[in-house]
Every structure is written in structure tokens, then in C-alpha cells.
């Protein structure tokens, strides 16, 4: 689960859908047309019984509400998810503590109350602002883990003057007592985990995602560039990895990978080398 908190928006899927919704909204599409497109593009996910399905509907509902165009059918879906306790049950199955479950339940109740209150003024489409990515292609990033060790991630792509100003970043399996060296990055593997697609059914997923410049200031993680290695391969969002992540998810992926995910789902046998993604 690409989640970094109990908040409604503290989730990879929520951020992905929210971004896509308002990209289309800012381009002039009507809310019902945007909703239909997102449902069509995410049909398989919506039909699966996972926490990402819930996050999809939460994100669509909030986006519609902000545009003062909340569809009663979408609102009913959110009501059903909250009333059934389905979301809390999924959190329990994914290892959330009792305290986290209670906090999540309170968040869901408040979210439902918010949706039931009509927004006074619809959100206006925004004029697009162009941004540069935070880091340069080939930057080797390090950050502290809960254990006190250092993790590592490699910047595979760096956008210039785009609305997202996105970096494509691969989180590695580096987990070191000392700041990693360039040699360690050149020998590292891409971090992978077994991602739940259907209840108790998993597939391997490489921990490679796009990170937006506009969300960087909200991050609590301190990153340090320890050097650069060559990345000759070209990437773009339309064709590669099409997944957003929050900056704080990088250390969280390594923190959880050594505990819950491995114990619950087993070791990942699929571990591509970082070099494979560079060239």
C-alpha cells in the first residue's frame, strides 16, 4: 500500500487520480467527462477488492466536490465504503495498528460529513505553471531510515519546464551503516515488493515512480546528493512507469520492506539491477 498516513489524500492512488482529474479539468473538460474517462482507464483496479479501489472513489468524490459537481452515485459509493467498514478491514489486513484504524475511521467519518455539505464556490481551472524538477538526472540520493542506516535512490529522469516538474526515481535496496558510495549505487538492485492486486494475490512491482516538484516542500525527509552516475536511457511519463509517489514514501518503502511486507508476502525474487534501468 503506497500510504504514508491515515489522511484521505495520504495515498499514492489518491494523488494519481487527483492529479489526472485536475490535469483534465484545467484543460477545459467537464467533470462528468473526466469522471467517465478515469473510470474507463482504471476499470480493472475499480473491480478489484483492494485499498486502491477505495482511494480511487475517495479521490474522484473529493475532486467532484471541489468543482461543486459531486455525482450522487459517487457519493453513495463513498457512503457504502465507509458504512460497510470495508476500508478499515483492509487496513487491519495490511497490518495497521488499532490506534491507526481508529484514527482512519475518524478521518473517514469527517470526510463523509464534508462531502455531505455542498461547497459554496466551485474550484476554478488553474493557469498552468511550468516547473523544473528538483534533482538532476543521474543524481544519487541518500536519506536516513528508521534504523539509523542510510537508504539510496537514483534519479532516472528530470523534467524541465513542465507543469509537474517531475523526477523519475528508482528506490534501491541500499541499506547501509554509512552514506552510500557511487560504487554501491552502481552495484545496487532496484527495490521490489509483492504488491497486492487482488485479496491475497500479489505481483512484483519495481519501486520506480514519478515525484512532483510541487510536493517537495511538504516532505519531511532530508535528501542528500552524494554523487552522480550516468543514466543514458530516456524516460517520459506517458510511456514509463505512470505512477506518482510522495517524497516521504522513499524511506518508508525501505522501512517496511524489511518487516511487514517480507513477513506477510515473502521475499521478492524479482530484483532487477539498477544498471538495467540506466542503459
Question: What pLDDT shows up at residue 259?
Answer: 45
Query: Looking at the predicted structure, is the pLDDT value of residue 153 above 70?
Result: yes
Q: Is 129 part of any domain?
A: no
Assess whether 86 and 204 both reside in one domain: no
The residue segments making up the domain with residue 74 are 12-115
From 115, 150, 175, the end of a domain falls on 115
Query: Looking at the predicted structure, is the pLDDT value of residue 12 above 50?
Result: yes
Decide which of 112 and 255 is more confident: 112
- pTM here is 0.58
Query: Looking at the predicted structure, is the pLDDT value of residue 221 above 90?
Result: yes
Q: Is 21 part of any domain?
A: yes
Give me the mean pLDDT over the 81-99 stretch: 83
Query: Looking at the predicted structure, is the pLDDT value of residue 119 above 50?
Result: yes
Assess whether 143 and 111 both reside in one domain: no
Question: What pLDDT shows up at residue 98?
Answer: 84
HEC-encoded secondary structure of the chain: CCECCCCCCCEHHHHHHHHHHHHHHHCCCCHHHHHHHHHHHCHHHHHCCCHHHHHHHHHHHHHHHHCCCCCHHHHHHHHHHHHHCHHHHHHHHCCCCHHHHHHHHHHHHHHHHHHCCCCCCCCCCCCCCCECCCCCCCEEEEEECCCCCEEEEEEEEECCCECCCCEEEEEEEEEECCCCCHHHHHHCEECEEEEEEECCEEEEEECEEEECHHHHHHCCCCCEEEEECCCCCCCCCCCCCCCECCCCHHHHHHHHHCCHHHHHHCCCCCCCEHHHHHC
Q: Is 6 part of any domain?
A: no
Query: Looking at the predicted structure, is the pLDDT value of residue 57 above 90?
Result: yes
160-189 pLDDT, tens digit per residue, is: 999 889 999 999 999 999 999 999 999 999
Assess whether 70 and 168 both reside in one domain: no
Ranking 9-18, 76-85, 117-126, 128-137 by mean pLDDT, the lowest is 9-18
Amino acid at each position: 500500500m503506497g500510504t504514508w498516513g491515515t489522511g484521505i489524500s495520504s495515498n499514492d492512488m489518491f494523488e494519481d487520480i487527483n492529479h489526472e482529474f485536475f490535469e483534465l479539468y484545467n484543460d477545459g473538460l467537464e467533470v462528468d467527462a473526466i469522471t467517465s474517462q478515469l473510470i474507463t482507464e482504471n476499470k480493472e483496479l475499480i473491480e478489484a477488492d483492494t485499498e486502491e479501489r477505495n482511494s480511487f472513489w475517495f479521490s474522484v468524490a473529493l475532486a467532484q466536490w471541489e468543482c461543486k459537481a459531486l455525482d450522487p452515485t459517487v457519493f453513495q459509493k463513498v457512503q457504502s465504503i465507509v458504512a460497510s467498514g470495508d476500508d478499515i478491514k483492509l487496513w487491519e489486513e495490511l497490518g495497521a495498528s488499532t490506534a491507526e484504524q481508529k484514527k482512519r475511521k475518524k478521518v473517514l467519518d469527517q470526510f463523509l460529513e464534508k462531502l455531505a455539505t455542498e461547497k459554496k464556490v466551485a474550484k476554478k481551472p488553474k493557469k498552468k505553471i511550468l516547473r523544473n524538477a528538483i534533482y538532476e538526472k543521474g543524481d544519487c540520493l541518500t536519506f536516513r531510515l528508521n534504523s539509523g542506516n542510510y537508504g539510496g535512490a537514483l534519479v532516472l529522469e528530470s523534467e524541465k519546464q513542465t507543469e509537474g516538474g517531475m523526477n523519475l526515481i528508482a528506490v534501491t535496496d541500499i541499506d547501509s551503516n554509512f552514506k552510500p558510495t557511487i560504487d554501491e549505487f552502481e552495484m545496487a538492485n532496484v527495490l521490489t515488493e509483492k504488491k497486492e492486486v487482488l485479496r491475497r494475490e500479489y505481483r512484483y512491482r519495481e519501486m520506480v515512480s514519478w515525484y512532483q516538484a510541487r510536493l517537495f516542500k511538504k516532505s519531511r525527509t532530508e535528501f542528500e546528493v552524494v554523487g552522480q552516475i550516468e543514466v543514458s536511457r530516456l524516460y517520459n511519463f506517458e510511456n514509463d512507469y505512470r505512477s506518482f509517489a510522495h517524497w516521504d514514501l522513499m524511506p518508508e518503502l525501505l522501512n517496511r520492506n524489511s518487516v511487514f511486507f517480507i513477513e506477510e508476502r515473502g521475499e521478492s525474487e524479482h530484483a532487477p539491477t539498477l544498471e538495467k534501468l540506466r542503459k
